[in-house]
Homo-oligomer: A and B are copies of this chain.
C-alpha cells in the first residue's frame, strides 16, 4: 500500500493534522492509521457517565475524515523504516509514504499502589468498549473513589454525583486542580464539590486498593465499589523510540514546526514534548486544544514551511466546570511565576457576569491577572465565573500570546450585553489589568 502522508493515531491531533494537510495539499493522499474502531471525544469522557449516559453519544464520526477524501485504516503500526519510508502494519502489510506524522497520544499512568490491577480499578482510556464496561460498573456501584483531583478527576466526581453515587476524591496535593490554579481558585472548586457532597481527601495518599474501597497512608479507609484512577498520562513514545527519534520522558522532541529529529517526520499532540511559552521549560500538559493547535501547524507545514505557522511554546489554556462555576486559566499562575523567579504584580477584579446583577442566574466573576513588574507584560490569567469563562479565558489567552501589556490591554474595546457579559462599567479583565497597572506605576 502507498500513500503520501501517513498519520499514526486517530485522536484529535491525528484528525486535525489530516484535515489541515488535506486543505493545504489537496492533491496528496492521506491515510490515518488507528487502533480503535471508533474514536471517542477525549475531553468529553467524564460527561458520558452523568449527562450523556451513552458512549455512542461521545464519538467523533469518521465522516470528519472520509468526507474530505482522507482514508482511515484500523490497524497498528509496529515499526517504521525511515530510510525506505515504509511503515509495517499488523494487518495491512507495508505502507509506503512520503511524510509521517506521529499522533500516538498518551497512556494513563498506573501508580504503584497495591491492588492497582484489581478488576475494581478503572483508568481513563480513550476506548469505547472499555468506557462501556466502566459505565456498566459505575451503574452497578453505590460508592466510587476517584484517585487524583485534576481536571478529569473533578469532572468525573461532578458527573457521578448527578447519578446519585457516593463519590470521594483522593488527592496527594493540598488542593484539587492545583497544578493549574492558585489556591484561592482551587478553593472555589472545592467549595462547589462540597456543595454537591463530594468527599474530599486532599493531602492524602492511597496506599492500597481493596475490594470495597481504598486505604490511605493514615490508615483511613474510604468506601468505593470501584476506583477510577485519574492521575494523568505519559506520552506514548514506544514507536518513536523504536524508530530512533529523539525523545525525552515528556515526549518526542519537536521544533516550532512540529518536526522531529528525523526528516519528513512530525509529531503532534500528547506524544510530543511541550515547552512553556514563557519559561521554555518542559511543560507536561496534555490537552486536546494544545494537540489540535500543534496539528494545525504540522498539517500546514508538511510539504512547505509556512513561516507564520510556528508553535511558539505552550500557553496552556484550561477551562473546566465544577458544580455551578466554570474556571479558566491561561499562561502562568502565581505559584509558577514565584517558583520560576518572575518579578510580577497581580491585578484582581470581582464583578457580576451579567448586568444588572439582579438578573436571574447572575454569577460572580473573579479575575486574577499576572503582569511582569517591568514593562507590564501580560503573563497569566485565572478566571472563575459562569459558563462564559470558557471564552473569556481565550480572550485573555489571545492577549497573553500577543504580547499585550497592562496599559494596552485595559484600553481595548469590548462589547457588552445585559444577559451575556459583565457591565460596560465593570469589564472584568480590563478592571483587573487596571488594578495591576496602578500597582506597577502608582496613580500617575
Q: Which residues of A contact B (CB under 8 A)?
A: 12, 15-16, 19-20, 23-26, 41, 43-44, 47, 51-52, 57-60, 64, 287-293, 296-297, 304, 306, 308-311, 314-315, 317-321, 326, 328, 330, 355-356, 358-360, 387-395, 397-399, 401-402, 407-408, 410-421, 423-425, 427, 430, 434, 438, 443-444
List chain B residues, Cβ under 8 A from A419.
47, 321, 326, 387, 390
Does B47 contact A418, Cβ atoms closer than 8 Å? Answer: yes
Could you say which of A20, A44, A59, A60 has the most chain B C-beta atoms within 10 Å of its C-beta? A44
Shortest CB distance A256–B (Å): 11
CA distance A12 to B414 in the complex (A): 14
Most B CB atoms within 10 A — which of A288, A290, A417?
A417
Q: Which B residues lie within 8 Å of A289 (CB)?
A: 413-416, 424
A355-B44, A416-B43 are known contacts. Are A391 and B395 too (CB-CB below 8 A)?
yes
Does the CB pair B444–A411 fall under 8 Å?
no
Q: Is the CB of B416 within 8 A of A319?
A: yes
Q: How far is the CA of A112 from the CA of B398 in the complex (A)?
A: 47
Among B326, B415, B443, which residue has its beta carbon within 8 angstroms of that of A23?
A: B443
Contact of A296 among B318, B355, B390, B411 (CB under 8 A): B411
The minimal Cβ–Cβ distance linking A301 to chain B, given in whole angstroms, is 11
Residues in B neighbouring A424, C-beta threshold 8 A: 12, 16, 43, 287-289, 291-293
The SS class assigned to the A binding surface is mixed
CB distance from A248 to the nearest CB of B (A): 22
- Are B397 and A394 within 8 A (Cβ)? no
| Complex CA distance for A100 and B414, rounded to whole angstroms | 26
CB-based contact A434/B394 at 8 Å = no
The 10 closest A-B CB pairs, nearest first, are A390-B420, A317-B415, A391-B391, A57-B358, A319-B417, A288-B424, A292-B424, A289-B424, A390-B421, A395-B395
Separation of A332 and B282 alpha carbons in the complex (Å)? 41
Identify A41's interface contact among B309, B397, B423, CB under 8 A.
B423
If A41-B423, A398-B412, A424-B289 touch, whether A417 touches B321 (CB-CB below 8 Å) is: yes
- Residues of chain B within 8 A of A427, CB atoms compared: 292
User: Provided the pairs A308-B407, A321-B419 are in contact, do residues A43 and B355 lie with their beta carbons within 8 angstroms?
Assistant: yes
Most buried by B among A292, A293, A388, A414: A414
* Contacting pair A413 B314 (CB below 8 A): yes
6 A-B interface contacts by CB (under 8 A): A15-B425, A16-B425, A43-B418, A289-B416, A390-B420, A394-B414
Let me know if A41 and B418 touch, CB within 8 A.
Answer: yes
Q: Within 8 Å CB of A52, what residues of B?
A: 356, 358-359
From B51, B413, B423, A315 is in contact (CB under 8 Å) with: B413
Asked if A416 contacts B288 (CB within 8 A), the reply is yes
A355 neighbours in B (Cβ, 8 Å): 41, 43-44
Nearest residue (CB) in B for A393 is B415
Q: Which residues of B contact A420 (CB under 8 A)?
A: 319, 321, 326, 387, 389-391
A359 contact set on B, CB distance < 8 A: 44, 47, 51-52
Name A411's closest neighbour in chain B (CB-CB).
B309
Q: Tell me, in angstroms, the Cα distance from A407 to B308 when the chains sit together.
A: 7
User: Which residues of the other chain, B, contact A47 by a CB distance below 8 angstroms?
Assistant: 359, 418-419
Q: How far is the CA of A304 from the CA of B441 in the complex (A)?
A: 14
Known A23-B434, A288-B416; 19 more pairs at CB < 8 Å? A16-B424, A20-B434, A24-B444, A25-B444, A59-B356, A60-B356, A64-B425, A293-B413, A293-B424, A318-B415, A319-B415, A319-B416, A319-B421, A320-B417, A326-B420, A388-B390, A390-B421, A397-B413, A398-B398
